[in-house]
Chain A
C-alpha cells in the first residue's frame, strides 16, 4: 500500500495535466468540474468535519468574484466609471495589466473572503443545526441583493471583465482549467495534511459533541472561525477565477447563485460522503457528470431529474458513497481492534 500510494498520486496528477488534451472538446466542462470539487471540499470542512451545515458558502464565491474583478479593474481605471460604461469596449487592458490585476485580485479575494467568514462566523456560530443553515443562507441571499443594488460595482447588470489576451480562445480555456486545477490540487494537499492535525481532531469533536468539547476546554469558537475562514479563502479564490473565466457576470444568477451552485455543492458532498477526504471529490465528479448528461439529453426535464437526484440522495443515501463503502468494506477504512497503531493516524479517505 505504502509504495502504491505515491504511484497513485503521480498517475492522478499526470491525468489532471493531460485531461484537457484527452478531451479537448470538454475543456470548459472540466474547468467547471474543478469549481464543483473546490466548493465541495471546502464545504465539507465545516459541513462534514465540523458539523456546521452552511447553505451560504456561495457568499464567498460571489464575494470573491466581485473582489477579484474590482481589484483587477481598479489597478488601471476608476471602477465607478468602468462599470458605468458597462463594458462598452472603451477600456483596454495590456497583457501585464490583465494578469497583474487578476493575480492581485485573486489574492485579495482569498484574504478578504477569509475576513468576511471570520466576521460572519462571530454572528452566526452561536446558531446550531438547521438554524445555522438558514442563517448562512439568509446571509448569502442578503449579500446578493445588496450587491445587485450597488451601482458602483455595476448593480443588477454585473461586471464585464476584459477578455483573455490573444485571439485563440482555446488558450483561455486551457489557462482557466489549469488555474482551477492548481487551486484544487493545493487545496487537496492542504486538506490531506489538515485532517491529520490535532486541530482537525478538535473540529471533529465539535461535530460529535460540542458541549463536551467546551467542557474539555477546547477553543471551540476560535477553531470554528479558523476553519470557516480557511474554507472561505479557497472559495473566494475559486469565485475570483470564475469571474475572469466568465468575462461577464451578474450578481444574482452568476455570483451569488444560492439555488444553483450554492445547493449543488452540498449535494455533491452528500452524494460522495460527508466528513471524508475523497467523498466530496467523488461526489462532485458524479454530480457534474449527471448534471451535464441531463442538461444535454433531458431538455426541459433537467431540473426535475436533478431535483429527483437531490431528494434520493438526501432521503436514502445520507452517508454517501464513501459512507456506504465504509459500511460494506470497513477493513478499507482502518477499523482495527487489537493491532498496534500507526505512528500517525491517517486521515479518513
Chain B
C-alpha cells in the first residue's frame, strides 16, 4: 500500500491556543484510517489544515506526493481530496436531488459540459446514491427540513456523488440513530471497498471506529498521542487515560 496523504510535523495555533503541535500522520491509499481523541484535541483542526481551509504555521502536507499545504480549498478539492463538515453543510433551500446534482464533480467537467442540462444518467446516479444512504423516500423534500442525522447522510451522499479519491469525514455517525449506525458502518465500508474511496474518519464512537479502521491515530491536547491498529490502540494505556482524563 502507498501513502496517499502524508502530514509531516504540522503545527497550527489559534492565537495562544496550540490546536496542533508537530503532528505527523499517514493515510494509506485504499484503506480506512481513523482519527480519535477527546473533545478539543485538534482533530477538526487537522482536517482543516489538510484541505486548505486555513494556512498552517509549519510543516508539510502531501497528497499523492504533491505538496498541498499552500493550496486553496477549491484547488485541493479538485485534486479529489474532499471533506465533510462536522457541523454538516448542505444547500438547505434545495431538495435532496438538487443537492446531489450540484455535487457532481465539476473538476471533470469542461465549461462546455457545464453549459448543458443534467442527463438521465446523472439523475439516476443521484437517486441511486440517495437510495444507498437511505434517503430515497425524502429525495424531493427541502433538504433543510431533514433531521440533523439525515442531513449528515445527505452530505455523505453528496461527497460520494463528487467521486473523490480520498474522503475526510468529520464524525459521520454523530446524530445518527444508534439503530441505524450499523447500517452506516456498512455503507462506509462499501464506499471504501466498492467505490474504491480512501477514507479518513474522525469518530468519537469507539465501537464504530474499531470496527472499521485498519489504522488509527489518537490526538490529545493537540499532540499525537498514539497510533496503530485498532487492537493496539484499544490496549494502549495512554489512550484510555486520555479519554478517562477528559471526562
Contacts and interface: CB of A to CB of B under 8 A. Distances in A.
Nearest to A220: B74
A17 B104 CA distance: 42
B140 interface: yes
B103 interface: yes
Contacts of A202: 102, 106, 114
Contacts of B90: 209, 212
A338 B138 CA distance: 8
B144 to A, nearest CB: 10
Interface in A294-343: 335-339, 341, 343
Contact of A204 (B92, B102, B111, B115): B102
A21 B53 CA distance: 60
B162 interface: yes
B246 interface: no
Nearest to B73: A214
A208 interface: yes
Given A201-B101, A202-B114, A216 B123 contact: no
A208 B103 CA distance: 13
Nearest to B161: A216
A209 B105 CA distance: 17
A345 interface: yes
B89 interface: yes
Interface string B52-80: 01000000000000000000111001100
Contacts of A345: 98, 101, 117-118
B82 A216 contact: yes
Contact of B77 (A201, A204, A214, A343): A214
Contacts of B43: none
Contact of A216 (B116, B137, B158): B158
Given A215-B83, A216-B82, A344 B89 contact: no
Given A217-B105, A219-B74, A196 B91 contact: no
B113 interface: yes
Interface in B94-141: 94, 97-98, 101-107, 109, 111, 113-118, 120, 123, 127, 137, 140-141
Contacts of B74: 214-215, 217-220
Contacts of B140: 335-339, 341
A50 to B, nearest CB: 13
Greatest chain A CB density within 10 A among B53, B91, B93, B141 is at: B91
A28 B35 CA distance: 69
A336 to B, nearest CB: 5
A343 B113 contact: no
A274 to B, nearest CB: 12
A345 B92 CA distance: 18
B51 interface: yes
A16 to B, nearest CB: 27
A341 B113 contact: no
A181 B39 CA distance: 62
Contact of A197 (B91, B106, B114, B123): B114
Greatest chain A CB density within 10 A among B77, B82, B83, B127 is at: B77
Given A197-B116, A198-B118, A201-B101, A217 B106 contact: yes
Greatest chain B CB density within 10 A among A196, A217, A222 is at: A217
A216 B162 contact: yes
B107 A198 contact: no
Contact of A209 (B91, B115, B162): B91
A199 B114 contact: yes
A196 B114 CA distance: 11
Contacts of B91: 204-205, 208-209, 212
B115 A197 contact: yes
Interface string A66-94: 00000000000000000000000000000
Interface in A107-158: none
A218 B98 CA distance: 15
Contacts of A226: 111
Greatest chain B CB density within 10 A among A205, A216, A343 is at: A216
Contacts of B92: 208
Contact of B82 (A211, A217, A338, A341): A217
A204 B53 CA distance: 22
Contacts of B98: 201, 345
A52 to B, nearest CB: 16
B123 A341 contact: yes
A297 to B, nearest CB: 40
A338 B137 contact: yes
Contacts of B53: 215
Nearest to A198: B114
Contact of B51 (A198, A215, A222, A336): A215
Contacts of A197: 114-117
29 contacts: A198-B101, A198-B114, A199-B114, A201-B101, A201-B102, A204-B91, A204-B94, A205-B91, A208-B92, A212-B90, A214-B77, A215-B53, A215-B73, A215-B74, A215-B83, A216-B102, A216-B158, A217-B77, A217-B78, A217-B82, A220-B74, A226-B111, A335-B140, A338-B137, A338-B140, A339-B140, A343-B120, A343-B123, A345-B98
Given A198-B117, A215-B74, 11 more contacts: A201-B102, A202-B114, A205-B102, A209-B90, A214-B73, A216-B77, A216-B158, A217-B74, A217-B162, A220-B74, A341-B127
6 smallest CB-CB distances across A and B, nearest first, come from A217-B77, A208-B91, A212-B89, A217-B78, A199-B114, A336-B140
